Amino acid sequence: MTGDTHPTGAALRRALARAGGPELLELLAAELSGAELTTLLLEVYRRRAERLTPAEVLRRHRTDRFVAPAPTDFALLRRAEDLLLAALPAGFRPLALSPLVPLAAHTAVATVDPRKVVATVRGSEVAADPTNGLALEAADRRARALAADPRSAVPVRLATTQRVVRAQHFDTPGMLAHFQLFGLVTAGRDTGDRAFERRHLLEHLRFAVRALADAGVRRTELRLTCLDAAAAPVLAQVRAELAQTPGVEIVEDPNRASGRGYYTGLCFKVFAEIGGQAVELADGGFTDWTQRLLASRKERLLISGFAVERLAAALDGEGGEHHGPGGRAGAPREDAL
């Protein structure tokens, strides 16, 4: 049962007391099959929906942070998405992901608290980050490649733009539970000497630099964090390769607190100077998701995520105002999810 240290602790105890005790929770969570639980919950929500009046639905539309439309200018949002898509390196395949992912897609390999994700009564979850869905698809494609050739090292490069939903509460006024993220992943196999990490980290960072330059950003800051001493040569090579890129500053950020235990080896943040301020627009790094999904320590995965609404605000000259979670710009992090 949820403990008192979590905000839902007391509320859960009260609900269980009214519903017949903790035994009900065990029955629903463990004893019913997935199909039985879905059947039960569908009937519960059918009955609750039948009790709602049109006026109550309208009131919910006005007050529910999960359903309110975003204030972002739609044309600017589309322009930001088009800029990111146009900047994709050759070999990346854009996908139109479903708004749903399998239950536990955000928690089974990404260590995210499931209470921060919106679950559905049909045993799925509303997408909270595009890189999770992309990683599942990349793992499936890698599995098929390995079935044909057990030593296949052909990388899988996927990208998408997706409106995502987060369930946690934020104190900042105007924060919505949904916002637009652009995600890309590269999955492949370790071929020795960290060649995968060197090649594809450079590719992701150069994509970020190009996309922001196309958006009119004159100064981009890449903050690189080495989480494993063995990855230090990769950081050094990436820094050397990008050192002469106009308008780009490369900063080592060894004291970064977020993402530890979430990313492996190396991670990064991308900041743009907008209206005289440094605005975080992207976040990414290496994860062990495909290693765990495919049960192979040879698999590698790099993810990146970009805050489309923040980029749209930059195009509008608003100095980086945004309507997604504060401090959350890109790929999912344990502290943000």
Dump pLDDT digits (tens) for 292-319. Answer: 999 999 999 999 999 999 999 888 764 4
Percent of all residues in the chain with a pLDDT value above 90, rounded to a whole number:
68
Percent helix, strand and coil across the chain, each rounded to 5? 40, 25, 40
Q: Which two tokens stand for residue 97?
A: 């992901």
Q: Give per-residue pLDDT as tens, 106-134.
A: 999 887 888 899 999 999 999 999 999 99
Instruction: Please give the residue that has the higher pLDDT: either 87 or 325.
Output: 87
pLDDT (0 to 100) of residue 326: 36
Q: Give per-residue pLDDT as tens, 252-286.
A: 999 999 888 899 999 999 999 988 889 999 999 99
Mean pLDDT, the chain, rounded, equals 88
Calculate the alpha carbon distances from 245 to 85, 101, 155, 238, 239 in Å: 21, 38, 26, 12, 10
Q: Give per-residue pLDDT as tens, 34-64.
A: 899 889 889 999 999 999 999 999 999 998 9
Angle of helix 195-214 relative to helix 74-86, nearest 10 degrees, comes to 140
Give residue 144's Cα distance to chain centre: 24
- Residue 176: which H helix or E strand, with range? none
The answer on pLDDT for 332 being more than 70 is no
The answer on pLDDT for 205 being more than 80 is yes
> Rounded mean pLDDT of 134-145?
98
Amino acid at 232: A
The answer on pLDDT for 331 being more than 60 is no
> Rounded mean pLDDT of 195-206?
97
**Total-model pTM:** 0.89
Q: Which domains does the chain have, with CATH numbers?
A: 8-63 (no CATH), 74-315 (3.30.930.10)
pLDDT (0 to 100) of residue 318: 47
The answer on pLDDT for 97 being more than 90 is yes
pLDDT (0 to 100) of residue 174: 61
Percent of all residues in the chain with a pLDDT value above 70, rounded to a whole number:
90
Instruction: Please give the residue that has the higher pLDDT: either 116 or 207.
Output: 207
Instruction: Please give the residue that has the higher pLDDT: either 34 or 155.
Output: 155
> Rounded mean pLDDT of 154-176?
86
pLDDT (0 to 100) of residue 337: 57
190: exposed, middle or buried (Cβ count in 10 Å: 0-12, 13-18, 19+): middle
pLDDT (0 to 100) of residue 254: 94
